[in-house]
Amino acid sequence: MGAYVVLTRLTGVGAKSVKERPEALLQLADEVAALDGKLNDHYALLGELDFCMLVSLPDNAAAHVLAARSPMGAHRTVLPAIDLPLFVRLLGQTTETIGPYRWQISWWARLVRPPLWWYENGRSVRAVLKPFTVRGQEHLRGFKGPALFIANHTSHLDASAMYMALPHRLRNRLFFGGAADRWFLKGRKGLRNQPWWMSLVYGSFPLKRGGGRAALEYAEWLIDRGCSIGIFPEGTRSSSGKMARFRAGPAILAVGKNVPVVPMYFDGLNTIRPKGTREMTAGAATVLIGPPIRFSPGTDVAEATDALFKAVDSLRRQIQQPRAATEPPVPVTR
């Protein structure tokens, strides 16, 4: 979820409408919520502008929709924002990114990745997932790949949960896209922050935000070499408690490369490590795996994107229902 500032200036007609129906101002929270966003603060201004909203929205597309829905008698401007500490940090660093590293699919990289991943990340994550339960593993019997694995996105633990939920034969050829401007900046300090380290240990590769079709070229290169991709179609971690709209990237890959998509849903990870914190609190986590989805060549990308959203949302509804006594969950052990 990104931060946005919404500035509103009323015309004479708008000012009269607000005076007659001031309660209408309170409906703005519902308008933002309908876009899978959240209204954080709302102020009346004493000056040239009349109102200021501080909102969280899933992406720039939602911001454009909010701006376009200016009520009659009002002019609305929506501006993206970042917090001041982040702005100060960005001023002192380069925006140049590096990667991807094609050696990450070599035999030696795939040989050292599992023990390095367990030492650097797996031990600490496994210690707080108590218990860690995976359901729907029968859908992966005999499944080899390449494939796309998609899931909801609420925590920094999501990629780890996906990795741990899959059989070893699929883990070792699974790679994750990461924001290039966050994880693949040139000149980062510390071994564990180096882009090549992220690629080696976590199987990450850079994705440029707003990079369009070109951002998927390396993912296509991986698929052509028999590798699978882990993707979170919401694009950013949700803090609203419900899934944001899916971006088109996974559907473009699935249709264009004719590979199956395996939907997954994660429950509980957002309470173990909530968005915005590094602290982890032990708790139960569940992963539900759905049956693979295949699209016919030429399938409309918008239709495929909608189908993927519905598949993950269906898993969400299943996982929130009481567990059936005849289908006991399968605890994961290393």
pLDDT at site 93 = 65
Closest CA to 315 of 298, 296, 290, 293: 290
pLDDT of residue 167: 93
CATH architecture of 102-331: 3-Layer(aba) Sandwich (3.40)
d(CA 24, CA 28): 8
CATH 3.40.1130.10 domain range(s) in the chain? 102-331
Predicted confidence at residue 230, as pLDDT, reads 95
Per-residue model confidence as pLDDT tens digits over 255-304: 999 999 999 999 999 888 877 677 888 899 999 999 999 999 899 999 99
Q: What's domain 2-88's superfamily in CATH? A: Dimeric alpha+beta barrel (3.30.70.1060)
Please, are residues 165 and 325 in contact by the beta-carbon 8 Å criterion? no
Q: How many Å apart are CA 205 and CA 178, to the nearest integer? A: 6
Residues of the chain with pLDDT under 70: 1, 89-90, 92-95, 209-214, 236-241, 276, 322-334
Q: What is the pLDDT of residue 240?
A: 56
Residue ranges of the chain assigned to CATH 3.30.70.1060: 2-88
- The reported pLDDT for the residue numbered 265 is 96
What pLDDT score was predicted for residue 213?
A: 64
pLDDT at 15: 84
For residue 60, what pLDDT is reported? 74
